[in-house]
Chain A
């Protein structure tokens, strides 16, 4: 009984210590991001890799999501004879919710996992130790630029996802199901307000932070062996997905 209690206690303490390390990692990365000299060339490089790597999956998934929303929205709205609101329904759904969340999922799968694997390999092959030994802070050199880059790239990718998604819904709604083009766009224009766009942007920035934070942390602290890298990659993707959904709930509830 006592040993069971002590085991539960140890697991709980380990978990709390782990969360503390995770949080301190973010604090260190943000602190280093503001310390000169700024690594502008690295930031630009990572914006390029995050953006370009994920662009094709974001475009593809955005288009199909939009088309599905076209069909589903049409089906639901027709029950109230409100097919003309299809544009508005799609745009609100994408801008506020599906755009940020789904593009964050895509970026996690495409770029986040690659980040975890890359940093994990650098840990296993002693490249991170090499940076320390050259008196270069690896968090400033490896993590901070990726975090800043994701804060910039993520809203842009989300915006692309939204535009392509609306286009997909237009193709289905107007092209296939015969909603009038004019009502598709006028409905959108009448119902979408700035706050909808703004809340989507806030979400995408937060998700970008979550993805790079978690994936860099897991990679950076991967056990130094091949299985450690694969484990870090899997864990980073799963934890990012969960945190994105949890955080999405909180943001939605405060920004409704």
Chain B
């Protein structure tokens, strides 16, 4: 289980997170929604200590990771797979090598086993023929899928998805959602998804959380979220500029 308690984070004078409290249920998919720039990526990066808070705690399996030293941190990070907003593939290597990278660096798996496992995973995300290409030669959607394959290659317990479908066409977005749902069914990871693609993303979510004005407003199952009387939630779902969310 992951629990975030009273998390505060500022960059210079800008307050981004202002006392976030949230629990992510083990084995479930929780989706975080919120306006662009409200701090979703910043919140996500606190979960595996890519960023450290100004104040507050992050518990992963009841260990407060904000106080860990380097060595323990690397161990905790091993539990996570991360799909970054821009996929963040290493552009000096091919798609195949990118997906194989964690296996080569972090396991003693033989090259022949890698040559079997990686094409399998690339096939799963529909990139069976693309292994030899470099990231610069791929479209945005292909990069996201390659990033997904890399995020899942180590069979992590927890997977963070930062806007897996932003900027993709509706068909591709649905296929990515299906991919997340299918791999979740196969591997049973704890999924944390940041997304704007509402309402489609609700179909794969067990819980939805709303981040606004630096705090988490609501953590509920999607049906209840949609019917929520919370004015912030209603403003976001209906896409209005008037309301309690401060639009920059």
User: Contact at A133–B48, with CB atoms within 8 Å?
Assistant: yes
Contacts of A129 in B (CB 8 A): 45, 50, 84, 88
Question: Across the interface, do A126 and B84 meet the contact criterion of CB distance under 8 Å?
Answer: yes
Q: Does A134 contact B (CB under 8 A)?
A: yes
**Does A133 lie within 8 Å of B91, measured CB to CB?**
no
The answer to whether A186 has its CB under 8 Å from any CB of chain B is no
Chain B residues near A22: list those with CB within 8 A: none
- Residue contact A125 to B86, C-beta cutoff 8 Å: yes
- Closest Cβ of chain B to A206, distance in Å, is 28
List residues of chain A with CB within 8 A of the CB of B89.
127, 130
Instruction: Report yes or no: A126 in contact with B102, Cβ–Cβ below 8 A.
Output: no
User: Are the C-beta atoms of B86 and A126 separated by less than 8 Å?
Assistant: yes
Interface residues contributed by chain A, number (CB under 8 Å)? 13
- Assess the B77–A132 pair: CB atoms within 8 A: yes
Across-interface contacts of B101 in A (CB, < 8 A): 134
Decide yes or no: A135 and B45 within 8 Å by CB, A126-B84, A126-B85, A130-B88 being known contacts.
Answer: no
Task: Kindly list chain A residues whose C-beta atoms are within 8 Å of the C-beta of B90.
Answer: 122, 127, 130-131
- B41 to chain A minimum Cβ distance, whole angstroms, is 9
Interfacial chain A residues near B212, Cβ < 8 Å: none
Distance in Å from the Cβ of B13 to the closest Cβ of chain A? 14
Q: Which residues of chain A from 101 to 144 have any CB-CB distance to chain B below 8 Å in the complex? A: 122, 125-127, 129-137
Contact B91 A127 (CB under 8 A): yes
A134 lies within 8 A of B50 (CB): no
B51 to chain A: closest CB distance in Å? 9
Q: How far is the CB of A117 from chain B (nearest CB, A)?
A: 13
Q: Inside 8 A of A136's CB, which chain B residues have their CB?
A: 102, 105-106
B85 partner residues in chain A, CB cutoff 8 A: 126
The range of chain B's interface size is 20 to 34
CA distance A130 to B105 in the complex (A): 13
CB distance from A187 to the nearest CB of B (A): 49
Kindly state whether residue B187 has any CB partner on chain A within 8 Å.
no
Measured between C-beta atoms, what is the minimum distance from A23 to chain B in Å?
18
Contact with A along B68-81 (1 / 0, CB 8 A): 00000011011010
B82 adjacent to A135 (CB under 8 Å):
no
Q: What B residues does A122 contact at CB under 8 A?
A: 90
The answer to whether A133 and B86 touch across the interface, beta carbons within 8 angstroms, is no
What residues of B have a CB within 8 angstroms of the CB of A130 in the complex?
82, 84, 88-90
Which residue in chain B gives the minimum CB-CB distance to A127? B88
CA distance A182 to B224 in the complex (A): 95
Pick from A125, A126, A127, A135: contact of B74, CB under 8 Å: A135
Report which residue of B82, B88, B89 has the largest number of chain A beta carbons within 10 angstroms of its beta carbon.
Answer: B88
Q: Tell me, in angstroms, the Cα distance from A125 to B135 when the chains sit together.
A: 12
Residues of B within 8 A of A (CB): 45, 48, 50, 74-75, 77-78, 80, 82, 84-86, 88-91, 101-102, 105-106
21 A–B pairs (Cβ distance < 8 Å), ordered by A: A122-B90, A125-B86, A125-B88, A127-B89, A129-B50, A129-B88, A130-B82, A130-B88, A131-B90, A132-B77, A133-B48, A133-B77, A133-B80, A133-B84, A134-B102, A134-B106, A135-B74, A135-B78, A136-B102, A136-B106, A137-B74
